[in-house]
């Protein structure tokens, strides 16, 4: 069922180029997919919220790309890019947003609350920090089963670092020396709350020392830095170095959800290096390195748009969940369902 | 040889660990120390690496169990006291209980809650939170009242593909004894007629079954034949057995050690009223703990929860109606 370890990607020049191209492509597809979901939301075609990863694509893509397919990934709400990099089909995202009965959540949960645990992709519950100990449990189980070489990555925002669940899970991972990579996107706001009302330490990465885990700070607007940092952190975890805490500095370039105009974001932050659009930075870097020509990038964009439009068209043709066909039970054990024999 | 309720739970865990390599135990002090109540005594030595001490982190303890269940294992979590499960509440009701419904991936975790009052336990070591967990969809809640059930139901709980809250009463740990472990048992979901009678039905669960039986024995000397129904599991709740009993007796007294607002006794009464109203010869009654935190001092503690005496008194009153 579970495959053997994948070797850490070597950092040859070719590998660096390859990871940049793959990472950028995931960022681009994620931005376009997010934009499409936002447009559908504004058109009233999406029930419930829409949550974008605008400004976090470099970190997210690097996280997904740094993992092997046999690893474990617990993305959070701004990880469209990481999900794509880890292998989540665009169609899964679109079906979940549009409420298709054929989607992975079958209309039972929506938007970013999707996943496929059997493929190592965990669907988040809304309670922040709660997925981290679940990743710990999967890693713990693999150790008991003598499956070696697995890494588990869990994504959080700055706000989630204030929860008890974060503390308990990071401490637990440290005690058990689990190969957990905790990726914190410090995007400066938890919904509307600025970091000054969230924590009082100088840098969230400083918290690592208190748990006895290794810390990695990174500029979250820079794909190159994110790829290198994530490769290092995942490599350290895979090599037996225990939990790794990655803290990326960036700015959320959108509201908490599409219902939120984010008027509380300080304009000075938008004009600061934190407010750089990581997608533009990465595009310029790729062109500057001579790794791609503009025409190729246009081709990638066209291809991604086509993929997304096809997924939307398909999901829109699919049936919605049927309350009369729904199995109204939360139990898997049939004889224990009340009213059934 | 005689075995206690506590021995039965320990033996069931040893049995599960021996028979199924997917089983492991995780909780505070469960390892070398053998648990606060010694329910995991010697298991760490017998099953190296599979009886694991956890930090004092109830949220992360349950979270880890859920993750392990996703990977196909069958974790048994020991909460040191049921009261502390409030700290792991989120993982139980939002993560574990919803996992199968959301993803089709089952969540076979067993969370053992040493629950119920003991004299001197006080407000934070005596609680009976079973109804809170039963309220949430996706969770099985069992409340064994006998040594045999403690053993058989724990083994069954571990084999069930859904999260099970296993409420083991601390008062029964060392008081309740049996000669041998059962080889067969009623399945979870079936209530048991613990004593047959024709005048009044007392529905109880966990330690209150023992008190109800004692009260029934006392009332028998007064000429009353009291039927005692042991619910065994509160979710699923075996309404059929309760209603069949009420059909025989026409009178219902429902006894629980938990607080009076809502809860198991209210659920039982509501079901009998809606499904068996015509069977009743008198309004059904409930007997619960008082609506305060559980007190520390033995005088207060003994008056806080239903007792053999208060059960008998409530039964007499109902028999006169």
In this predicted structure, the answer to whether residue B170 has a pLDDT above a threshold of 90 is: yes
A136 vs B58, B63, B69: nearest CB: B63
Asked if the structure places residue A305 within a domain, the reply is yes
B106 vs A138, A165, A332: nearest CB: A332
A130 vs B90, B101, B162: nearest CB: B90
Beta bridge partners of residue B25, listed in sequence order: B51, B76
Please state the rounded mean pLDDT for residues B285-303: 97
Q: Do A140 and B67 touch (CB under 8 A)?
A: yes
Q: Do B162 and A333 touch (CB under 8 A)?
A: yes
Q: Do A125 and B98 touch (CB under 8 A)?
A: yes
Catalytic residue among B15, B125, B135, B304: B125
Instruction: Give, in degrees to the nearest 5, the angle at Cα B37 between B35 and B40.
Output: 45
- Interface membership of B64 toward A (CB under 8 Å): yes
Instruction: Give, in degrees to the nearest 5, the angle at Cα A54 between A53 and A59.
Output: 65
Q: How far is CA A166 from the centre of its chain?
A: 17
- Interface membership of A168 toward B (CB under 8 Å): yes
Q: Chain B, 126-155: which have a CB under 8 Å from a chain A CB?
A: 137-138, 140
* pLDDT of amino acid A10: 54
Please state the rounded mean pLDDT for residues B20-35: 98
- Single out the residue of B93, B13, B87 nearest to residue B47, CA to CA: B13
Q: Which of chain B's residues have a Cβ under 8 Å away from the Cβ of A92?
A: none
- Interface membership of B65 toward A (CB under 8 Å): yes
A171 vs B57, B90, B235: nearest CB: B57
CATH 3.40.50.920 region(s) of chain B? 192-320
Asked if the structure places residue A323 within a domain, the reply is no
Nearest-Cα distance to chain B for A331, in Å, is 5
What are the b/e assignments for B147-186, b being 16+ CB within 10 Å?
bbbbbbbbbbbbbbbbbbbbbbbbbbbeebebeebbeebb
CB atoms within 10 A of CB A64: 29
B71 vs A130, A141, A331: nearest CB: A141
Please state the rounded mean pLDDT for residues B205-221: 98
Half-sphere exposure of B275 (CA within 13 A, CB side): 17
Beta carbons of B33 and B41 less than 8 angstroms apart = no
Q: How far apart are alpha carbons A70 and A147 in whole angstroms?
A: 11
CB pairs under 8 A between A and B: 144
- Interface membership of A62 toward B (CB under 8 Å): no
C-alpha distance from residue B88 to each of A260, B56, B93 (Å): 32, 11, 9
A134 vs B63, B75, B187: nearest CB: B63
* pLDDT of amino acid A339: 76
Beta carbons of A201 and A211 less than 8 angstroms apart = no
**Which residues of chain A are modeled with pLDDT < 50?**
1-9
Mean pLDDT of chain B: 97
Asked if the structure places residue A221 within a domain, the reply is yes
Task: Record the pTM.
Answer: 0.96
Structural domain including A104 reads 13-318
C-alpha distance from residue A195 to each of A70, A151, A222, A250, A251 (Å): 35, 29, 21, 12, 11
- Interface membership of A146 toward B (CB under 8 Å): no
What are the b/e assignments for A312-324, b being 16+ CB within 10 Å?
beebeeeeeeeee
Q: Which of chain B's residues have a Cβ under 8 Å away from the Cβ of A131?
A: 63
Nearest CA in chain A to B142: A336
Asked if the structure places residue A2 within a domain, the reply is no
Nearest-Cα distance to chain B for A148, in Å, is 14
B200: Cβ contacts below 8 Å, ≥ 6 apart = B224, B226, B227, B249, B251, B252, B253, B315, B318, B319
Please state the rounded mean pLDDT for residues B264-282: 98
- Interface membership of B24 toward A (CB under 8 Å): yes
* pLDDT of amino acid A340: 63
- Single out the residue of A116, A152, A147 nearest to residue B73, CA to CA: A147
* pLDDT of amino acid A3: 39
Q: How far apart are alpha carbons B51 and B45 in whole angstroms?
A: 8
- Interface membership of A105 toward B (CB under 8 Å): yes
Q: How far apart are alpha carbons B102 and B104 in whole angstroms?
A: 6
C-alpha distance from residue B70 to each of A62, A116, A136, A153, B170 (Å): 26, 11, 11, 16, 31
Q: How far apart are alpha carbons A214 and A244 in whole angstroms?
A: 5
- Interface membership of B59 toward A (CB under 8 Å): yes
Q: How far apart are alpha carbons A161 and B95 in whole angstroms?
A: 19
- Single out the residue of B169, B132, B174, B242 nearest to residue B3, CA to CA: B174
Instruction: Take residue B212 and report the two structure tokens written for it.
Output: 């109800």
* pLDDT of amino acid B83: 98
In this predicted structure, the answer to whether residue B1 has a pLDDT above a threshold of 80 is: no
* pLDDT of amino acid A131: 98
Pairing of strands B51-53, B192-195: unpaired
Does the domain made of B192-320 have the CATH classification 3.40.50.970?
Answer: no
Residue carrying structure tokens 């086509």: A306
CB atoms within 10 A of CB B297: 12
B67 vs A108, A141, A168: nearest CB: A141
C-alpha distance from residue A131 to each of A126, A184, B32, B66, B125 (Å): 9, 13, 29, 10, 29
Half-sphere exposure of B276 (CA within 13 A, CB side): 25
Beta carbons of A23 and A223 less than 8 angstroms apart = yes
Half-sphere exposure of B154 (CA within 13 A, CB side): 33
Asked if the structure places residue A44 within a domain, the reply is yes
Please tell me the class of the B3-178 domain.
alpha beta
- Interface membership of A119 toward B (CB under 8 Å): no
- Interface membership of B48 toward A (CB under 8 Å): no
Asked if the structure places residue A4 within a domain, the reply is no
Angle between helices A294-317 and A13-42 (to 10 degrees): 40
Nearest CA in chain B to A341: B189
> Which of A122, A133, A148, A151 would best serve as a mutation to test chain B binding (most B beta carbons within 10 A)?
A133
Q: Tell me the CATH number at A98.
A: 3.40.50.970
Indicate if B175 belongs to the active site: no
Asked if the structure places residue A209 within a domain, the reply is yes
With bands split at pLDDT 50, 70 and 90, how would you rate the model's confidence at B321?
Answer: confident
Q: How far apart are alpha carbons B164 and B314 in whole angstroms?
A: 32
Q: Do B64 and A164 touch (CB under 8 A)?
A: no
Q: Which of chain B's residues have a Cβ under 8 Å away from the Cβ of A154?
A: none
- Interface membership of A174 toward B (CB under 8 Å): no
* pLDDT of amino acid A6: 46
Q: Which of chain A's residues have a Cβ under 8 Å away from the Cβ of B66?
A: 133-134, 137
Beta carbons of B66 and B99 less than 8 angstroms apart = yes
* pLDDT of amino acid A2: 38
CATH 3.40.50.970 region(s) of chain B? 3-178
Q: Which of chain A's residues have a Cβ under 8 Å away from the Cβ of B59?
A: 130, 133, 164-165, 168-169
Nearest CA in chain A to B66: A134
Q: How far apart are alpha carbons A117 and A137 in whole angstroms?
A: 13
Please state the rounded mean pLDDT for residues B182-193: 96
**ipTM of the modeled complex:** 0.97
Q: Which of chain A's residues have a Cβ under 8 Å away from the Cβ of B187?
A: 335
Nearest-Cα distance to chain A for B268, in Å, is 14
Name the domain count of chain A.
1
Asked if the structure places residue A340 within a domain, the reply is no
Please state the rounded mean pLDDT for residues B88-103: 98
- Interface membership of B76 toward A (CB under 8 Å): no
């Amino acid at each position: 069922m579970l495959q053997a370890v994948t070797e850490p990607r070597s950092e040859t020049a070719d590998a660096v180029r390859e990871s940049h191209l793959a990472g950028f492509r995931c960022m681009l597809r994620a931005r376009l997919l997010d934009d499409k979901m936002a447009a559908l939301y504004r058109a009233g075609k999406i029930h419930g919220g829409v949550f974008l990863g605008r400004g976090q694509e470099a970190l997210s893509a690097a996280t997904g790309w740094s993992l092997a397919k046999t690893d474990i990934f617990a993305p959070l709400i701004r990880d469209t890019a990481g999900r794509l990099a880890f292998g989540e089909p665009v169609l899964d995202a679109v079906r979940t947003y549009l409420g298709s009965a054929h989607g992975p959540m079958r209309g039972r949960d929506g938007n970013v609350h999707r996943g496929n645990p059997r493929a190592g992709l965990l669907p988040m519950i809304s309670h922040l920090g709660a997925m981290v100990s679940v990743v710990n449990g999967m890693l713990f189980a693999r150790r008991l089963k003598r499956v070696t070489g697995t890494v588990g990555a869990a994504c959080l925002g700055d706000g989630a670092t204030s929860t008890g669940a974060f503390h308990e899970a990071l401490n637990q991972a440290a005690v058990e020396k689990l190969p957990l990579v905790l990726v914190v996107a410090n995007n400066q706001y938890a919904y509307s709350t600025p970091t000054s009302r969230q924590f009082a330490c100088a840098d969230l990465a400083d918290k690592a020392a208190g748990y006895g885990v290794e810390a990695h700070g990174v500029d979250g607007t820079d794909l190159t830095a994110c790829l290198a940092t994530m490769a290092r952190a995942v490599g350290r975890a895979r090599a037996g170095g225990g939990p790794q805490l990655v803290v990326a500095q960036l700015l959320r370039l959108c509201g908490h959800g599409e219902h939120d105009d984010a008027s509380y974001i300080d304009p000075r932050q938008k004009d600061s290096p934190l407010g750089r659009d990581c997608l533009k930075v990465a595009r310029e870097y790729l062109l500057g390195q001579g790794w791609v020509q503009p025409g190729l990038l246009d081709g990638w964009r066209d291809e991604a748009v086509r993929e997304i439009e096809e997924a939307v068209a398909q999901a829109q043709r699919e049936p919605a969940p049927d309350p009369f066909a729904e199995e109204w039970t939360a139990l898997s054990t049939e004889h224990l369902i009340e009213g059934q024999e | 040889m005689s075995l206690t309720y506590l021995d039965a739970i320990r033996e069931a865990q040893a049995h599960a660990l021996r028979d199924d390599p997917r089983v492991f135990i995780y909780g505070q002090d469960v390892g070398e120390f053998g648990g606060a109540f010694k329910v995991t005594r010697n298991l760490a030595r017998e099953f190296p690496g599979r009886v694991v001490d956890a930090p004092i982190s109830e949220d992360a303890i349950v979270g880890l169990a859920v993750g392990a269940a996703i990977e196909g294992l069958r974790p048994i979590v020991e909460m040191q006291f049921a009261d502390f499960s409030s700290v792991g509440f989120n993982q139980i009701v939002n993560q574990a209980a919803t996992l199968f419904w959301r993803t089709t991936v089952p969540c076979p975790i067993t969370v053992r809650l040493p629950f119920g009052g003991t004299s001197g336990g006080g407000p934070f070591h005596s609680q009976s939170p079973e109804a809170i967990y039963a309220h949430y969809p996706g969770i099985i809640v069992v409340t064994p009242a006998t040594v045999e059930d403690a053993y058989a139901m724990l083994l069954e709980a571990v084999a069930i593909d859904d999260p099970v809250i296993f409420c083991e009463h601390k008062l029964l740990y060392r008081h309740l004894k049996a000669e041998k472990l059962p080889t067969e048992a009623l399945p979870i979901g079936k209530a048991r007629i613990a004593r047959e009678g024709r005048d009044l039905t007392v529905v109880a669960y966990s330690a209150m079954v023992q008190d109800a039986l004692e009260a029934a024995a006392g009332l028998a000397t007064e000429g009353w034949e009291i039927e005692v129904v042991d619910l065994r599991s509160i979710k699923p709740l075996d309404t059929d057995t309760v209603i069949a009993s009420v059909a025989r007796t026409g009178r219902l007294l429902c006894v629980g050690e938990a607080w009076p607002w809502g809860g198991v006794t209210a659920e039982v009464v509501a079901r009998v009223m809606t499904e068996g109203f015509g069977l009743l010869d008198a309004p059904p009654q409930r007997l619960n703990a008082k609506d305060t935190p559980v007190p520390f001092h033995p005088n207060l503690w003994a008056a806080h929860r239903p007792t053999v005496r208060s059960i008998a008194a409530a039964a007499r009153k109902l028999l006169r109606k």
